[in-house]
């Protein structure tokens, strides 16, 4: 470690407290939290004198050489992070929405001001997936990154499938345990996974993708009918994000629930754990597994970034800067399970072919091929319909 790290911490929620706890367990690290910026005065686990109420106070404090941003408001996070970078300070952030939506600018600011922005905690909690994609998988062999990227959804699905609990009860537990975001639809509707996937994509293939152009659909509409269907066929339902290399310099990405067979690595990823399958030429598949949410697991990822800035580590964005360009393509087909009630809802789906269908008194379903592009076109309407979609056994067909 070259220099003492004098940290200005912004945010003292679940992850902020987690960071303070894991820092206490790391006496070898020459780092000190100088000030913590919070929104309001209230009784906390640390003395009042360490708190302040303006992030600018930290950014403008010459004694502070590292800003650690751990708040959930992505707009305020953007303001704080960009101001700190422009002030020449290194920054560690866990705000996936802010990072995914502003990647191009954040990369440019790091170059322009010669500073480092690290964000391992923004994707998959304690799993060091970003730094591994950047450093170990720094070649042309990578084919796909597929995984359970959201701890809260996975916790809910685990409780539903393994403990026969209800959706609402399980969501409440995920909130009480500090896994869920302030607005849980961020978790259960696949936005959190989407932002994480966009971040993983730049470190996997060098492509900056606008999250608005990517299909994300989550588990908030799952019904007992869908759960029973999956169980009868020997599947579990998991919320999965995937980025995959296609032919001719193209990549595809999407977030969708998936019917997962027992022989898949992600089948056994339970509770708030995340699991990422990295596929490549020469090495086939590798699997990274670990806690994806919670105070201490996420705090440990922030701690690792803090240490890394102390060692002058920066993301080099090697795929983006040194390799051929990959372009995001909305082409291709998916085989999906669509559970629906009304003909009006069904009319939104242009199936290319149907392999299985069922009509019942309460619900109906169809399994068939559909164009990814067609789903992207109606992605904002999907959540309003009385339907549920999951990718079935077969995935992309290009």
Active site residues: 196
Q: Binding of ligand HSE at residue 38 (CB under 6 A)?
A: no
Q: Which of 69, 101, 181, 226 binds ligand HSE (CB under 6 A)?
A: 181
- The answer to whether 150 touches 275, Cβ cutoff 8 Å, is no
Q: Interface mask (CB under 6 A) for ligand HSE, residues 108-147, using x and -? A: -----------------x----------------------
Using CB under 6 A as the binding criterion, the count of chain residues that bind ligand HSE stands at 12
> With helix as H, strand as E and coil as C, how does the chain read?
CCCCEEEEEECCCHHHHHHHHHHHCCCCCCEEEEEEECCCCCCCCCCHHHEECCHHHHHCCCCCCEEEECCCCHHHHHHHHHHHHHCCCEEEECCHHHHHHCHHHHHHHHHHHCCCEECHHHCCCCCCHHHHHHHCCCCCCEEEEEEECCHHHHHHHHHHHHHCCCHHHHHHHHHHCCCCCCCCHHHHCCHHHHHHHHHHHHHHHCCCCCHHHCEECCCCCCCHHHHHHHHHCCCEEEEEEEEEECCCCEEEEEEEEEEECCCCHHHHCCCCEEEEEEEECCCEEEEEEEECCCHHHHHHHHHHHHHHHHCCCCCCCHHHHHCCCCEECCCCEEEEEEEECCHHHHCCCCCCEEEEEEECCCCEEEEEEEEHHHHHHCHHHHCCCCCEEEECCCCCEC
CA distances 142 to 124, 134, 243, 246, 326, Å, are 19, 11, 11, 11, 12
Q: How far is the CB of 238 from ligand HSE (least distance, A)?
A: 13
Q: Which of 128, 151, 241, 275 binds ligand HSE (CB under 6 A)?
A: 151
22 or 387, CB closer to ligand HSE?
22
Q: Binding of ligand HSE at residue 179 (CB under 6 A)?
A: yes
Q: Binding of ligand HSE at residue 11 (CB under 6 A)?
A: no
Greatest CA separation found in the chain? 69
Q: Binding of ligand HSE at residue 180 (CB under 6 A)?
A: yes
Q: How far is the CB of 8 from ligand HSE (least distance, A)?
A: 22
Q: Binding of ligand HSE at residue 152 (CB under 6 A)?
A: yes
Q: Binding of ligand HSE at residue 150 (CB under 6 A)?
A: yes
- The answer to whether 158 touches 219, Cβ cutoff 8 Å, is no
Q: Binding of ligand HSE at residue 101 (CB under 6 A)?
A: no
101 or 181, CB closer to ligand HSE?
181
98 or 115, CB closer to ligand HSE?
98
Termini Cα distance of the chain: 48
Q: Binding of ligand HSE at residue 293 (CB under 6 A)?
A: yes
- The answer to whether 129 touches 276, Cβ cutoff 8 Å, is yes
Residues 343-362 close enough to bind ligand HSE by CB under 6 A: none
> Which of these ranges, 47-55, 71-79, 175-183, 210-218, lies near ligand HSE under the rule CB under 6 A?
175-183
95 or 307, CB closer to ligand HSE?
95
**Contact partners, residue 103, CB within 8 Å, separation at least 6:** 198, 199, 202, 208
> Which of these ranges, 39-47, 74-82, 148-156, 362-370, lies near ligand HSE under the rule CB under 6 A?
148-156
Q: Which of 8, 18, 292, 368 binds ligand HSE (CB under 6 A)?
A: 292
> Which of these ranges, 81-89, 178-186, 253-261, 276-284, lies near ligand HSE under the rule CB under 6 A?
178-186
Q: How far is the CB of 144 from ligand HSE (least distance, A)?
A: 21
115 or 149, CB closer to ligand HSE?
149
Q: How far is the CB of 119 from ligand HSE (least distance, A)?
A: 11
Q: Interface mask (CB under 6 A) for ligand HSE, residues 248-287, using x and -? A: ----------------------------------------
Q: How far is the CB of 60 from ligand HSE (least distance, A)?
A: 29
Q: How far is the CB of 109 from ligand HSE (least distance, A)?
A: 23
Q: Which of 120, 187, 244, 335 binds ligand HSE (CB under 6 A)?
A: 187
Interface with ligand HSE (CB under 6 A): 125, 150-152, 179-181, 187, 192, 292-293, 298
């Amino acid at each position: 470690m070259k220099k003492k790290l004098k940290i200005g911490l912004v945010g003292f929620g679940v992850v902020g407290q987690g960071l303070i706890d894991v820092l206490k367990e790391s006496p070898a690290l020459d780092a000190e939290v100088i000030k913590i910026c919070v929104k309001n005065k209230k009784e906390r686990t640390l003395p009042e004198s360490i708190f302040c109420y303006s992030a600018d106070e930290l950014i403008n404090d010459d004694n502070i050489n590292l800003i650690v941003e751990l708040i959930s408001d992505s707009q305020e996070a953007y303001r704080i992070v960009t101001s700190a970078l422009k002030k020449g300070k290194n920054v560690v952030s866990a705000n996936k929405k802010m990072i995914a939506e502003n990647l191009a600018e954040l990369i440019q600011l790091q170059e322009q001001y010669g500073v480092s922005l690290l964000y391992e905690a923004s994707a998959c909690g304690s799993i060091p997936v970003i730094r591994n994609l950047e450093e170990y998988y720094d070649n042309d062999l990578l084919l796909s990154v597929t995984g359970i990227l959201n701890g809260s959804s996975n916790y809910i699905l685990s409780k539903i499938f393994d403990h026969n609990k209800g959706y609402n009860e399980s969501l409440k537990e995920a909130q009480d345990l500090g896994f869920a975001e302030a607005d849980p639809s961020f978790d259960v509707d696949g936005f959190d996974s989407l932002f994480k996937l966009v971040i993983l994509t730049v470190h996997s293939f060098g492509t900056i993708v606008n999250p608005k152009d990517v299909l994300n659909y989550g588990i908030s509409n799952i019904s007992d009918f869908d759960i029973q269907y999956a169980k009868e066929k020997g599947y579990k339902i998991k919320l999965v994000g995937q980025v995959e290399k296609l032919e001719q310099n193209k990549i595809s990405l999407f977030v969708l629930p998936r019917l997962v067979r027992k022989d898949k690595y992600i089948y056994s990823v339970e509770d708030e754990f995340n699991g990422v399958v990295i596929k490549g030429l020469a090495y086939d598949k590798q699997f990274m597994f670990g806690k994806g949410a919670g105070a201490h697991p996420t705090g440990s990822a922030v701690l690792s970034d803090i240490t890394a800035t102390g060692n002058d580590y920066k993301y080099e964005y090697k795929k983006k800067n040194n390799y051929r360009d990959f372009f995001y393509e909305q082409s291709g087909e998916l085989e999906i399970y669509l559970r629906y009630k009304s003909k009006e809802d069904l009319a939104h789906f242009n199936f290319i072919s149907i392999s299985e269908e069922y009509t019942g008194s309460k619900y109906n379903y169809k399994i068939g091929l559909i164009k990814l592009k067609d789903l992207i076109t109606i992605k904002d309407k999907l959540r309003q319909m009385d339907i549920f979609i999951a990718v079935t056994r077969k995935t992309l067909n290009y």
